[in-house]
Each structure stands twice: as C-alpha cells, then as structure tokens.
Amino acid sequence: EIVLTQSPGTLSLSPGERATLSCRASQSVSSDYLAWYQQKPGQAPRVLIYGASSRATGIPDRFSGSGSGTDFTLTITRLEPEDFAVYYCQQYGSSPLTFGGGTKVEIK
C-alpha cells in the first residue's frame, strides 16, 4: 500500500500569500497518477489537479501541481478568501487507492 503523508497539517496564511502544500509517497506513484482535492465543510471534494500537474476543468490558474515519483507539491500562488479549506492528495495508480491525511489552510 502506498502511504501518502501530507505536510504541514495546518497552514496559517493571509489572503494574497502563497501556499505550498507537500504530499510525500512511501513508494513511487505509478505514472504520476496523483490528484489534489479541495474540500469545504459539508461539501464533496472538488478536484483541482490530476496526473500530478494537469489542472482540472474550471480551476483557476493560481492552483498548480508539480512533482513526480514520491514527492508532489500543490501551490496556490495568491490565496483568495474562498481558498481557505482542507486539501487532500490521492494516488490512483495502484490498488489500494489512497488519500493523504489532509492539510488545512486557515486564515491567519
């Protein structure tokens, strides 16, 4: 099983600042089958990035994904008020599919 470790657990930032979220895998993620999600309370997750770096339809370009193998990063260049939420990474290249534990981006 591929274990995904997200860091930090909580990120306290102000609107307009840059957010850098990390997702580290216990073994290489096959063909970079890695996705990033945003989730707000009471809502289903919303996909931001798939294939490690491809932005999903309708996602603003302030969101970007990078990395390969075992180290992946989600970057939000300038935080908007609506970006404060919990973010999860997911690998879907091997079974069992797994999610990271999440990073909460909160308003400082």
Partner 1 sequence: EVQLLESGGGLVQPGGSLRLSCAASGFTFSSYAMSWVRQAPGKGLEWVSAISGSGGSTYHADSVKGRFTISRNNSKNTLYLQMSSLRADDTAVYYCAKGGLTSGWGEGFWGQGTLVTVSS
1, β-bridge pairs = none
Among 26, 54, 66, 68, binds partner 1 (CB under 8 A): 54
Residue 81: count of CB within 10 angstroms of its CB? 7
- Answer yes or no whether residue 88 interacts with partner 1 by CB under 8 A: yes
Cα separation, 58 vs 23, in Å, equals 23
- Answer yes or no whether residue 95 interacts with partner 1 by CB under 8 A: yes
- Answer yes or no whether residue 90 interacts with partner 1 by CB under 8 A: yes
Q: From 13, 40, 38, 54, select the one nearest 88 (Cα to Cα).
A: 38
DSSP sequence for 37-58:
EEE-TTS--EEEEETTTEEPTT
Span near partner 1 by CB under 8 A; candidates 11-19, 20-28, 30-38, 62-70: 30-38
- Answer yes or no whether residue 57 interacts with partner 1 by CB under 8 A: yes
- Answer yes or no whether residue 46 interacts with partner 1 by CB under 8 A: yes
Number of residues that bind partner 1 (CB under 8 A): 29
- Answer yes or no whether residue 3 interacts with partner 1 by CB under 8 A: no
- Answer yes or no whether residue 24 interacts with partner 1 by CB under 8 A: no
